[in-house]
Structure 1
Amino acid sequence: MYDTLVTLKKGAGRTLKAGSMWVYNNEIESIAGDFENGDIVTVHDSDGFFLGIGFINTRSKLTVRLLSRKKGTVIDDAFLEKRVQNAWDYRKQTVDTGCCRLIFGEADWLPGLVVDKFSDCLVVESLALGIDRLKPAILDALCRVLKKDGIVIRGIFERSDAKVRLQEGMERYKGFISEPFDTKVEIEENGVKYIVDMEDGQKTGFFLDQKYNRAAVQRLCKGKKVLDCFTHTGSFALNAGIAGADSVLGVDASQTGVLQAEENARLNHLEDRVKFQCADVFELLPQLEEKGEKFDVVILDPPAFTKSRNSIKNAVKGYREINLRGMKLVEDGGFLVTCSCSHFMEPELFAKTIREAAHGAHKRLRQVEFRTQCCDHPILWAADESYYLKFYIFQVCEEQ
């Protein structure tokens, strides 16, 4: 069906054969046939065995991303609508769909595409040339699928402004796909209301991957004094407040984020108990320790300290430092909530870093819970890149 043939080197493609969807440039022996980057191609092993079909881009280190492993598959509107329907059916069974991630790239077998739903609006992020070509058909299919369940999409905004698009030979883009609409949308999650800024917020405007982790924190916070570090737009802080915390301090280095967090606090009538401060967390934690401050619950939800394997050493130092400082601020018997959203900070390394921080702080940890990303960001086994969020709750105790 697709005449351009990509043939792998002998012994190459081990991760692909184990279930991954990527063919790297250094795994390819030959490309036979005329093609343009973004076209659909067929992939064979060195012995001619069919491995799948996907889209090609020779400008990218990820030269081919598979769309299907079934021989004879045609990538047409019907194929794309089935992919979208499967993704939506999965969300309906597993997650609150008022606001959720509808498409999560490779984990929904639509590599390079992210679509988030905030109430009746969609935010789209396209990171690969091939999926960019298919994007209009996918979005049309998504609107049709949602309409069958009575959900009419009011507007679609694109946030394809990540630097990785440059590696695909594409320009970064941010703007309306639909007719213009108000891109500040109110959502509700776990009983907390937020204003999501789809146009100017981080990533797609709101971090949906912590949805049920935020709910898990609620039961710890009633009547407690809470510190929420790297609060962004206040999500963990507001969950603590809605659960009945006596006082909450949310800290973030972004003044824009703090202003949005304060607006969200007012939206939930929590401004009397949930306060926010613009500060560098690395500087603030030692200052709070020096003042003798203590909290019943300390939450650490930092941005990814590393986005490549080359910077892991510095990331480990950062995670160790904030966890050590955070533990020192927890009252004896209180709780530390700590997480990493970096794929390259592997679970074993993150756990080791926390253990080292506990040793340095002379604290004993009792693990309450370990969680990962919300189920609308499914972890596709054999596609390691789909697993990135590690989330722990510990009770912090003095040395016994």
Structure 2
Amino acid sequence: MSKRVELHPASIKHLKKGHPWVTKDRFSSNFPQKDSFLWAKTAEHGRAILINDPSHQMIKARLWSLIHQNDSFNENIFKRELKERLEKSYNFRKSLNLDRDNYFLCFGEADQLPGLFIQVLGTRALIQFYSDFWNRYEKEVSDFVLNYFKKNDIWLQKRNKNQQKEFYCLNRKNKDDEFHITEFGIRYKIKLNKSYDIGLYTDMAAIRNRLKKNFENKRVLNLYSYTGAYSAFALKNGATDVTSVDLSKKYISWLEENLKENDLMSSHESIVSAVLPALKKFKADNEKFDLIICDPPSSSSDGKKRTKAIDSYRELIPLFYDLLNSRGEVYAFLNTHSITRNKFETKIKEYTKDSPFSISGHLKLTEDCPSLKGFPEGDYLKGLKLLKK
């Protein structure tokens, strides 16, 4: 069932320490294209069972298990282990008693289900394949979900490097879908098969809830606001007013739909603009805020140039300082696998040396989005709380 491959010594070291990926190198570049499973020797008596991922640009295989050389592995064993791991992830989420309709039923590598994510969205479930490997086991995964969510519409999304929408409803003839879910008492519109993303980032939900006591009587600026989850959340939790800035008219319109759904429009201002010129205009108009939320896309364009999120903070932070009231705060996020938490914090410290801020807290994935020890790429959503000195 599986074909033997040779691994780079560094890959073996990382796998044994808990890292679940084999990335592209001179060894993995020679992996076979058609085999679903691979195995490699990791020690005198140790073996790694790997999921083959030939179509991925950088991740060429993902760890399924480390076994002894005398242990068996075949199709039936894999299917049994798949079911056991899905059951474990389901029972863990059930134990959390979350106050929201949206949560991750399984969270990929952190649940020992590499490249497989499943979101529950109220009366829908969304299976997301980040590896083409899972196409072969679509039935096993969808059958498991249907067993626990018999009344749900089950959707499948194949996440691809080109960010082209690729959704399928597995148990209905729906071509697309629009509906509302409730997260911490706020209703948000979800749209399936309308664009690559669905309108709400469930991985940010637990972080939002952790911050709920920090909005009372605050004037809030939400940058790269997308469909306004933080804008609605801030207003619902006592913000005096919120200004949302996003370059996309489509997302600002969606944001306003969400605010109207929750009767929160009266204390909100929408601005369709690139962030940097919007901040410069706020400064020229002597605007002041108590709290700035900044969650830039990993790479963005203002129509003239493309900027990486980490680099954008170099220009943004001095403007944050000018726009904040005394003891004002910034919640600065970075959403990428490729930059570690330590590097993000180092860069922010570098950018704040001339604009005095102190780091007053750290924000990270939690609850239904657990972390995996030895896997820094899984800690992709990083946040820092910056306090104006």
TM-score by length of 1: 0.85
Deviates more, 1:113-122 or 1:321-330: 321-330
Q: 2:250 aligns with which of 247, 252, 256?
A: 256
Matches within 5 A, 1:43-122: 43-45=40-42, 49-60=45-56, 61-70=58-67, 71-76=71-76, 77-94=79-96, 96=98, 98-122=101-125
1:140 paired with 2:143, answer yes
Q: What is the CA distance between 1:140 and its match in structure 2?
A: 0.9
Deviates more, 1:261-270 or 1:319-328: 319-328
1:42 paired with 2:45, answer no
Query: How many residues of Structure 1 are paired with residues of Structure 2 in the alignment?
Result: 376
Q: What is the CA distance between 1:195 and its match in structure 2?
A: 0.7
**Cα 1:364–1:83 shift into 2, 3 Å:** closer
State the SS of the aligned residue for 1:26: coil
For residues 53 and 205 of structure 2, the distance between their equivalents in structure 1, rounded to whole angstroms, comes to 35
Q: 1:299 aligns with which of 293, 300, 307?
A: 293
Deviates more, 1:4-13 or 1:283-292: 4-13
CA displacement, residues 167-216 of structure 1 (integer Å, 9 cap, x when unaligned): xxxx9733322213462121111221101112225534421111122223
For residues 359 and 348 of structure 2, the distance between their equivalents in structure 1, rounded to whole angstroms, comes to 12
For residues 353 and 24 of structure 2, the distance between their equivalents in structure 1, rounded to whole angstroms, comes to 43
Deviates more, 1:212-221 or 1:81-90: 212-221
Q: 1:173 aligns with which of 166, 180, 186?
A: 166
TM-score by length of 2: 0.87
Matches within 5 A, 1:147-186: 151-163=149-161, 173-181=166-174, 183-186=177-180
For residues 142 and 102 of structure 1, the distance between their equivalents in structure 2, rounded to whole angstroms, comes to 9
State the SS of the aligned residue for 2:290: strand
State the SS of the aligned residue for 1:240: helix
**Cα 1:305–1:345 shift into 2, 3 Å:** farther
Matches within 5 A, 1:219-230: 219-230=213-224
CA displacement, residues 244-279 of structure 1 (integer Å, 9 cap, x when unaligned): 222111111111111111000011110111232211
Matches within 5 A, 1:1-400: 2-8=1-7, 13-24=12-23, 26=25, 28=27, 37-45=34-42, 49-60=45-56, 61-70=58-67, 71-76=71-76, 77-94=79-96, 96=98, 98-144=101-147, 146=148, 151-163=149-161, 173-181=166-174, 183-305=177-299, 315-361=309-355, 363-365=356-358, 367=360, 369-397=361-389
Q: What is the CA distance between 1:22 and its match in structure 2?
A: 2.5
Q: What is the CA distance between 1:59 and its match in structure 2?
A: 4.9
Q: Is the 8 A contact 2:189 2:199 kept in 1?
A: no
One-letter amino acid matched to 1:130 = F
For residues 386 and 318 of structure 2, the distance between their equivalents in structure 1, rounded to whole angstroms, comes to 13
State the SS of the aligned residue for 1:142: helix
**Cα 1:11–1:349 shift into 2, 3 Å:** closer
Give me the identity figure in percent. 22
